[in-house]
Homo-oligomer: A and B are copies of this chain.
Amino acid sequence: MTAPPPIPARRGATVHSLSRLAGVSVSTVSRALKDDPRIAPATRRRIADLAREAGYMPNVLARSLSGGQSGLIGLVNGPMQNPFYAELLAEAVNQAAERGQRLLILHAGTGPIEDRTSEALLHYRVDGCLVASAELSSRAAAICAERGVPLVMVNRVARLHASAVSCDNEAGGRDVAKFLLAGGHRRPALVLGTVGVSTSDGRERAFIARLAEAGLRLALRLHGHSTYEGGHAAGTAIAALPAGERPDAVFVLNDIMAMGLLDAVREAGLRVPEDLSVVGFDDVPAAARRCYGLTTLAQPLGTMVRRGLDLLAARIADPALPDESVTLRGQLVVRHSARLPDPARAG
């Protein structure tokens, strides 16, 4: 009868077990593992080999406990039914991974954030947090500031205790107005999303201001939820207007609503852009599909995320850095949901 085989170490290798195997101290192991130049190359290699064989996996939780960073970036995201947020998430995940950081999703949805959620941000000691949706409560933001957890708003205007990166909403609103005016539209309407979204203000203000310069006023101003359904409802309402009162162009403040609106007005029998021009904002991938062909103001999402992570990284390295806002210029992508400028007139 043979002795039973030794039970393999269930809990994996640690710097401790490696130090015993290598016959060196834990500090040497720790240093060797992070390629500290002070460790003799031979020792370093030996430990690296041992670590590989043993299937050593550093415990980042322990590492961050010991003064370091967690490598965790929090993300407070908007509703994933909106492809803009889906894309934002994808960008953030991939770009963070390139920097050796991981995304902890704190929220992905509409509506206010539960207290439990905003606290998780602190519980998990994220190194920083990207906020792309419904405002974090000011209390949560204040706690983050107090604790030195940098916050960066993405596609949201700056707030107290947070940096921000967003599209130049004023320029965007103005560009859309200019484009619509050049197209000869005389009865422009505006469709806004969920109230209280900070980016809407700039877009609306600049849009209206530019119209005013041309002596025009808004023919209609509607509010809806920032969803496909919200846009659909707005479109149905517009299509139901008597022809004389109907706007000849609509600026919809985000693409997901613009798509809903487009479907609704077409269902109602209106032709786009002959009867109604539609312009969106965001340039989500689906906007390019033939069944939408949406003219829209593209946000430079990849760059926004990159700059957001940059701001975060800088503040993680030096928490004393002041809040900073960066504004990126978007670009009008012309497709066929809006009447094109008359060459004769524009010429």
Contact = CB atoms under 8 A, between A and B. Distances in A.
Nearest to A114: B97
B80 A89 contact: yes
Interface residues of A, number: 57
Contacts of A109: 90, 93-94
A122 interface: yes
A122 B57 contact: yes
Contact of A87 (B10, B81, B104, B105): B81
A103 interface: yes
Interface string A93-119: 110010010111111110000101101
A128 to B, nearest CB: 15
- Copies of this chain present: 2
A58 B124 CA distance: 9
Interface of A: 10, 12, 55, 57-62, 64-65, 70, 72, 79-81, 83, 86-87, 89-90, 93-94, 97, 100, 102-109, 114, 116-117, 119-120, 122-125, 143, 146-148, 228, 259, 263, 266-267, 285-286, 289-292
A254 to B, nearest CB: 16
A163 B87 CA distance: 29
Contact of A117 (B81, B97, B119, B286): B97
A58 B102 contact: no
Nearest to A85: B86
A166 to B, nearest CB: 21
B125 A61 contact: yes
